[in-house]
Amino acid sequence: MGIKKKILFKFLTDDVNPVFQPLLVNRSRYLHLFGGAGSGKSVFASQKLIYRSIRESRHKFLLVRKVARTIRHSQFNLLKAMIYSSGLSRYFKITDSDMLIRNILTGSEFLTAGLDDREKLKSIFGITSIWVEEATELDINDFNQLDLRLRGITNSYKQILLTYNPINVYHWLNTKNFQDSFKLKTTYKDNKYIDTDYINVLNNLKEQDSEYYNIYALGEWGTLKNIIYKPFVILESYPEVPDEIIYGLDFGFNNPTAFIEIQIKDKCYYLKEFVYKSGLTNSDLINKIKSFNIKNTDCIYCDSSESNRIEEFKKAGFNVFTSNKSVKDGIDFIKTCKIYSNTENVNINKEVLSYCYKQDKDGNIFDEPIKFNDHAMDAIRYAIYSHSKNKPTTTNIRLIG
Ligand SMILES: Nc1ncnc2c1ncn2[C@@H]1O[C@H](COP(=O)(O)OP(=O)(O)OP(=O)(O)O)[C@@H](O)[C@H]1O
Ligand SMILES: [Mg+2]
């Protein structure tokens, strides 16, 4: 068996979820991988590109998202992880600084560009296939622009891989008539690697909101209803000297931990996403937050249910407070505030679009938000609302420094 065949044989039999295996050789111009959360879409997209980079030669794969800054922590890191976990690292040269990956057997390359970086996008020539991650972030003009870039004679077939959740039945991804396309819907049930905690989170959605459950657990096109906040206004830059800085912290481990900085100026709030990451232990998190050089007089408002973790933060010298517990009052207050975001706050901007009140099967809407993709939203509410009350619960208050 030749070296390429050997590599591919191992890769296929060991690593790719069965539902996706036939798509390794699917040649449609538009390959839609859509469906529920955690179904393995992104992992498969990276696997397919690695597979093609070995089997075919001299590719220039473009990894695209709406915002350039988000590519490193999603597509780029995922490709790297898949290359390492499949034992293929000796066949690739990875340059972290430029986010470049090159298959040294075949000369195929992976490049990255955000649609917010038109200059870089224009400067990349000879693209042979594209992977658009979280494709619902793109508008139709973004897509058309990419589509135009994929032309000319190439060694192998040209394909645009689109990975996304079906969040809006009226989205162009659903309504546009794609010629030469193939669409595969998957759910967590198609992913043999998904963990049981995450399955429970998805199954819990059934009790909370049927539309949400349809989209994220069943992978069906839906429309998010009862959205709580209007999207935060996006600014290019924030005031240079804020009146005050506060922080909101929602603890997670399997779920992401969200640590958000909020600058306050003339009663307006300006958000900055500092941490949004799963798998951080409390000491990882403390070390990470220490690296931001936060003043020990700046207030950090935390999830009130995590007293042990809060204690450790106090011991580490942070000025932490438990947040006010009233979710309803907090949300109502946030709705009255002027809150601004920027394009770098990828997870904040994403969560706000799908942060909804619960609705039961009979159409009754509740005052509570759905507990899913709500980590940055919680952190923001903890900080802004609790700070406005300026009456944190006394048990956990200790000003340090
Ligand atoms: N082939 C695989 N090998 C190993 N782990 C996998 C594989 N496919 C999926 N997983 C695991 O399942 C998790 C979810 O997969 P992935 O992120 O691809 O889902 P997704 O469909 O893109 O989810 P979302 O809709 O939330 O973006 C991954 O983080 C990984 O841990
Ligand atoms: Mg994904």
Q: Kindly report, residue by residue over 161-204, the tens digit of the pLDDT.
A: 999 999 999 999 999 999 999 999 999 999 999 999 899 999 99
> Packing angle between helix 282-290 and helix 307-315, nearest 10 degrees?
40
- Going by pLDDT thresholds of 50, 70 and 90, the confidence category of residue 12 is low
Q: Is the pTM of this model over 0.75?
A: yes
* Cα(265)–Cα(170) distance, integer angstroms: 38
Q: Write down the number of H helices and E strands in the chain.
A: 13, 17
In the 8-state DSSP scheme, what is residue 4? H
The answer to whether the beta carbons of residues 91 and 104 sit under 8 Å apart is: yes
Q: Which atom of ligand 1 is nearest to the CA of 188?
A: 21
Residue 277 CA to ligand 1 center (angstroms) comes to 16
Residue 372 CA to ligand 2 center (angstroms) comes to 15
The 10 Å Cβ neighbour count of residue 290 is: 12
Residue 206 CA to ligand 1 center (angstroms) comes to 21
Question: pLDDT value at position 221?
Answer: 97
Residue 274 CA to ligand 1 center (angstroms) comes to 24
Question: If you search the block for the tokens 């909804």, which residue do you land on?
Answer: 356
Residue 249 CA to ligand 1 center (angstroms) comes to 26
Find the helix or strand (DSSP H, E) in which 205 lies.
helix 196-208
**C-alpha 64, offset from chain centre:** 14
N- to C-terminal Cα distance for the chain?
Answer: 67
Question: pLDDT value at position 401?
Answer: 29
* Cα(72)–Cα(215) distance, integer angstroms: 26
- The CA-based angle 107-16-164, given to 5 degrees, is 85
Question: pLDDT value at position 7?
Answer: 73
Q: Which atom of ligand 1 is nearest to the CA of 163?
A: 22
Average pLDDT, the chain: 91
Ligand 1 test: best mutation among 32, 33, 42, 205, most atoms within 8 Å of CB? Answer: 42
Which residues make Cβ contacts (< 8 Å) with residue 336, sequence separation at least 6?
none
* CATH superfamily to which 3-194 belongs: P-loop containing nucleotide triphosphate hydrolases (3.40.50.300)
- Residue ranges covered by each domain of the chain: 3-194, 233-396
Cβ-count burial 219-256 (b if 16+ within 10 Å, e if not): bbbbebebebbeebeeeeeeeeebeebbbbbbbbeebb
* Cα(20)–Cα(399) distance, integer angstroms: 54
* Cα(244)–Cα(252) distance, integer angstroms: 26
The answer to whether the beta carbons of residues 249 and 322 sit under 8 Å apart is: no
| Averaged pLDDT, 214-231 | 94
Ligand 2 ion: Cβ-proximal residues, 5 Å cutoff: 42
Q: In what order do the strands lie in the sheet with 257-265?
A: 233-234, 338-341, 268-277, 257-265, 244-250, 300-302, 320-322
| Averaged pLDDT, 107-130 | 92
Question: pLDDT value at position 325?
Answer: 85
Residue 300 CA to ligand 2 center (angstroms) comes to 31
- For residue 96, give the 3-state DSSP assignment: coil
Q: Which residues line ligand 1 (CB under 6 A)?
A: 15-17, 37-43, 165, 191, 193-194
- Going by pLDDT thresholds of 50, 70 and 90, the confidence category of residue 9 is low
Please give the structure tokens belonging to residue 239: 């005031």
> What are the start-end ranges of the E strands in 66-157?
92-95, 100-103, 109-114, 129-133
* Cα(62)–Cα(131) distance, integer angstroms: 6
Task: Please tell me if the domain spanning 3-194 has the same topology as the one spanning 233-396.
Answer: no
- For residue 278, give the 3-state DSSP assignment: coil
Question: pLDDT value at position 400?
Answer: 35
Q: How many CA atoms lie within 13 A of 333 on its CB side?
A: 20
In the 8-state DSSP scheme, what is residue 39? S
Q: For residue 34, give the ligand nearest its CA.
A: 1
Question: pLDDT value at position 394?
Answer: 39
Ligand 1 test: best mutation among 14, 193, 202, 205, most atoms within 8 Å of CB? Answer: 193
Question: 3.30.420.280, 3.65.10.10, 3.40.50.1820, 3.40.50.1980: which CATH number matches 233-396?
Answer: 3.30.420.280
Q: How far is CA 168 from CA 35, 212, 246, 271, 365, in A?
A: 12, 11, 34, 26, 20
